[in-house]
Structure 1
Amino acid sequence: MGVSNNITAVLNFIAFLASIPIIAAGIWLAQNPDNECIRSFRWPVVILGALVLLVSLAGFAGAYWRKQGLLALYLFSMALLILLLLILLVLAFVVTRPDGSYDVPGRGYRESRLDGFSPWLRDRVTSSGSWAKIRSCLADSDVCIRLAQNYITPEQFFNSHISPLQSGCCKPPTACGYSYVNPIMWTSPTNPMADPDCYVWNNDQNQLCYNCNACKAGLLGNLRKEWRKANIILIVAVVVLIWVYLIACSAYRNAQTEELFNRYKQGWV
């Protein structure tokens, strides 16, 4: 192989390595209970990571066997994938910027307000058709059952740092004044309650607060928290891919120059 093709092959191996954390971040997101229940949010990162892996392997093969057509296809495809990753990053940053969570006095966990989150994200999660499926999925999961297994006394539970999803879906809002029995069973207060969620709460394990606005807000809070963590990995991966792509473009041009020069020399032999 020529020097330029050697460089391109090494760069594509680096791009291959960069695709691994993208896929890992996507799998981590997909396995979380909230993303498991929102199918449109589950796989985009995994799919993009897998495509980056396949394209980088194609670029490596093109550089190793000096297939300029395959290298050109690699450069076009990688540019498109980098653009899609950048769009995903920008969208994720914009829609996860608003934070509807707030501190609760005397509690280690936070609670969330539905109107504090991005309208775009809120509309795609909390519409009546979407929420019916999400609610059923959450009820079938062990996201709330784990609380009863992990916390026994009120002090343990109130000082815990449970997830926004558990805070919103597995217990009534603190403002309702319910009395603690265990993390997923509470005694109703005798005084009137202003928050509509207070009347929605039910000790039935299949209902709890899954129909509450607090639960919808908790789901959005989980999504925000997880996607902002994943964004850090995606930013690093995209920076590496852009760096690799720019050098690969230069190496591709040099390889074409080398090929033209070799043909020119052969013409004079």
Structure 2
Amino acid sequence: MRNSNHVIGLLNFSTFLLSIPILGGGIWLSTRANNTDCLKFLQWPLIVIGVSIMTVSLAGFAGACYRNTFLMRLYLFVMFFIIAALIGFIIFAYAVTDKGSGRHVLNRAYSEYYLQDYSGWLKDRVADESYWSKISSCIRDSKACGKMGRTFGGVPETADMFYLRKLNPIESGCCKPPTECGYVYANETFWNPGGGMVGSNLDCSKWSNEQDQLCYSCDSCKAGVLASLKKSWRKVSVINIVVLIILVIFYVIGYAAFRNNRRMDNDEPFGEARMTKARPSRIQL
């Protein structure tokens, strides 16, 4: 009995530790949103799951230490649904980030992003004007575009040097106009209209050299946010898959140990049948 309780207690403590990377993943996603109101719908599921695992694990640990059957039953019951929720979140994260990626641009080291390459729930959520106003505000307040400036020996980088940079999706989509628009590079966030401007892309007319506007209203900026979210969610999902596998293993072991406790509480020696006949039957010839 004591050994089984030790096993259950150890597993619950290990589960408590496993909740930390899940909770950390949710907090990390929130920092990617610049700690403002935008994109809160992304990190909250992870934070809720992480806190739930942490709380339930503590209940299971207390149940094992004090031999509280109710807490152990509660732990096994709730943990089953938490595991199911984590599986659902992982499937959802991969489903909503399945489509869309950057397009390579000729003579450029960076990729560019187009909103029409994305589809599904996440695209509709990000592109919704009520949410986009918050998201664009986050990007503007984070000064992501203002941090792009580089100098070499006190001299600003040239256009050729800029074209060789590997910009992240936010920098590529929000801080400069699309290459097809034909703007001429002046510095990282200041571009002059060129003679060969192409008008088929609506983002060409949305670009502004005003530093508080830039391309924050462009579809390319929304696509850049989607690409950034896809990258972040995939990283978190890899951690969640590893944690999920370990959680399932711990759950199975914990359930087996709990059943062993019940058997010992009922004075059922291992391997002995619970029902025996009162007397042997006679063989009728």
Q: TM-score range by the shorter chain?
A: over 0.9
Pairwise mapping of residues 184-203 of structure 1 onto structure 2 (< 5 A)? 184-194=189-199, 195-203=201-209
User: For residues 211 and 245 of structure 2, what CA distance do their matches in structure 1 show?
Assistant: 46
Q: Which amino acid aligns with 1:54?
A: T
1:208 alignment partner in structure 2: 214
The answer to whether 1:40 aligns with 2:41 is yes
Q: Which residue of 1 aligns with 2:280?
A: none
The 5 Å alignment of 1:1-269 reads 2-33=2-33, 36=36, 37-149=38-150, 152-194=157-199, 195-261=201-267
SS at match of 1:50: helix
**Structure 1 position 4, deviation (Å):** 1.4
After TM superposition, give the deviation of residue 156 of structure 1 in Å. Answer: 3.3
1:72 match: secondary structure:
helix
Q: Note if contact 2:180-2:197 (Cα within 8 Å) is conserved in structure 1.
A: no
Give the C-alpha shift of residue 189 in structure 1: 1.2
Using the alignment, how far apart are the partners of 1:115 and 1:100 within structure 2? 11
For 1:154 and 1:257, how far apart are their aligned partners in 2?
75
Contact 1:34 1:222 in 2 (8 A): no
Is residue 30–residue 42 contact of structure 1 (8 Å, CA) maintained in 2?
yes
Moved more, 125-134 or 216-225: 125-134
Question: What residue ranges of structure 1 are gaps of 5+ in the alignment?
Answer: 263-269
CA distance, structure 2, for counterparts of residue 34 and residue 215 of structure 1: 16
SS at match of 1:186: strand
Contact kept, 8 Å, 1:22 with 1:234, in 2: the verdict is yes
SS of the equivalent of 2:185 reads: strand
Cα distance between partner residues in 2 of 1:28 and 1:201: 31
Tell me the CA shift for residue 56 of structure 1.
0.9
Segment of structure 1 superposing worse, 115-124 or 204-213: 115-124
- Aligned partners of 2:219, 2:18: CA distance in 1, in Å? 39
Q: Name the CA distance, whole Å, in 2 between partners of 1:115 and 1:41.
A: 21
Is the Cα contact below 8 Å between 1:16 and 1:57 reproduced in 2?
yes
Tell me how large the CA RMSD over aligned residues is: 1.9
* Bigger CA radius of gyration: 2
Structure number with higher relative contact order (C-alpha < 8 Å, ≥ 6 residues apart): 1
2:93·2:233 contact (CA, 8 Å) conserved in 1? yes
Matched residue pairs, number?
A: 263
What is the TM-score of this pair, normalised by structure 1?
0.92
Contact kept? 1:103, 1:110, Cα under 8 Å:
yes
| One-letter amino acid of the counterpart of residue 91, structure 1 | F
SS in 2 for 1:142: coil
Structure number having the greater helix percentage: 1
CA distance in 2, matches of 1:156, 1:257: 72
What one-letter code is carried by the residue in structure 2 that aligns with 1:200?
Answer: K
Query: For residues 114-149 of structure 1, what are the alpha-carbon distances to aligned partners after superposition, in whole Å with 9 as ceiling and x for unaligned?
Result: 121132111111012221222222222211111125
Q: TM-score, normalised by structure 2?
A: 0.87
CA contact (8 A) 1:34 1:223 kept: no
2:182/2:195 contact within 8 Å kept: no
Contact 1:29/1:35, CA 8 A, preserved across alignment = no
- Give distance in 2, aligned partners of 1:156 and 1:20: 42
Please state how far the C-alpha of 1:35 moved relative to its aligned partner: 8.0
Deviation string 1:164-211 (CA, Å, 9 cap, x unpaired) is: 111100100011111111111111113342211011000111100000
Find runs of 4+ consecutive structure 1 residues off by over 4 angstroms: none
